[in-house]
Amino acid sequence: MTDTDDLHGSYTYHDTLKGVYYGPGCVRTALPKLLSVLGGSKALIVTGKSLRDKTNVVKNVEDILKDNAAFGGTFSEIGQHTPVQGIVRGVEAFTTAGADIAISIGGGSPIDATKAIIFFLHQKKGGRFTNHIAIPTTLSAAEYRSGAGYTNEQGNKVSVSDPMIAPAGIILDAELTLATPEELWLSTGLRALDHAVESLYRPGLPPPLKVLCYSALVDLFTYLPKSKEQPNNLKVRQKLLIAAWMSLWPAKVETYSPLGLSHSLGHKLGATYGIPHGITSCLTLAPVVLLKAEIASAEDKAALAEALFYLKEPSTGSVDGDVKRLGGMIDELVRSLGLHRTLVSYNVPKANLPSIAKLALAGDDPAYQPKVEALLESIYEQ
């Protein structure tokens, strides 16, 4: 038995998601299986220029498709924050190629772009939704969401959502992440941590999934530092891919609800000021958790405080203190990974902080706006 044999397996969801395959090197067998299950005969790969031009990841997938007579082309015009222009050109590329299935490779931008392409294709042509196989190379976990965020012509973050645009197949292969730049890999790990933390107080999330979020917290705290120390360790990378899966486990819930303030702030900061998704979580998650110690409900505070038990961290003696300790631990993790940043470093005008706070709180109690402004000021230049 090799060191990674216990990290291989599969999981099938009964509705849209037909299979998640995981394990180092699994793409070679998983991709042909998913093509067979989903009935794909000609695939268009959707990815970004850097991944296509600077690594062998896309070529390796192309070769597998060619070996199975299923290669329909590669579209690599997807940029950070998924500009809508790339989506429009992606729809054209898919149609021109005569493709019947889409394969996204990369992080959140190409995965969300592929979901949006499928959404617009369906609006244009009707009929059944095109199937989508996602092959993530980061820890952003976009592959588990049925929504797709992109940037419109005005530079604002918008989204489309439909259960049928979620990937029908997902391949978690640690070997394909080896070429991912360190900052991108580790910062999207903080994005996964953001998913897990904010899911603890997300309305409507079933209790068993919250237990998965606690498990994701433990593995992210454990394996992100190890991945920085041992960047070529496939077992560590595979553990992190699975932790990202646990942080945003695909599920059907009766009422969809957004994640929380850290994500909302990240959306407002990311597209407008060109801050990568993972870095927005490095900026906002720890301060938001600290703020929750002041303003959250007793139930939400208790859910956050419980994280210390799973992290084997002693209680401070009070729920509020435990929530603050969790926020402090997140800040320590960010700094230890070399991911500490400020809003100044991304040229966010200080005069814009009140409007960012107001937009992030849309639909929430406006009485909290001064506290959110203070939160933004705390990460402005320190």
Catalogue all structural domains in the chain, each as residue range(s) with its CATH number: 14-177 (3.40.50.1970), 182-379 (1.20.1090.10)
- Of all helices (H) and strands (E), which one includes residue 21? strand 19-22
- Judge whether 310 and 218 are in contact, CB under 8 Å: yes
Question: Rounded to an integer, what distance in angstroms lies between the CA atom of residue 161 and that of residue 249?
Answer: 17
Task: Select from 143, 170, 215 the least CA-distant residue to 12.
Answer: 170
Residue 336's SS3 state is helix
pLDDT in tens, 22-81: 999 999 999 999 999 999 999 999 999 999 999 999 999 999 999 999 999 999 988 777
Cα 311 to Cα 304: distance, rounded to the nearest angstrom: 12
Confidence (pTM): 0.93
Classify 190 as helix, strand or coil: helix
- Check if the beta carbon of residue 219 is closer than 8 Å to that of residue 246: yes
Tell me what the mean pLDDT of segment 228-243 comes to.
98
What single-letter DSSP state applies at residue 158?
A: E
d(CA 10, CA 93): 31
pLDDT per residue over 160-192, tens digit each? 888 899 999 999 999 999 999 999 999 999 999
What are 295-335's pLDDT values in tens digits? 999 999 999 999 999 999 999 999 999 999 999 999 999 99
What tokens were used for 98? Answer: 């005569």
Burial class of residue 312 in the structure, from the number of CB atoms within 10 Å of its CB (0-12 exposed, 13-18 middle, 19+ buried): exposed
Q: What is the pLDDT of residues 135-153, one digit of tens each?
A: 999 999 999 988 888 888 8
Report the Cα 88 to chain-centroid distance in Å.
Answer: 22
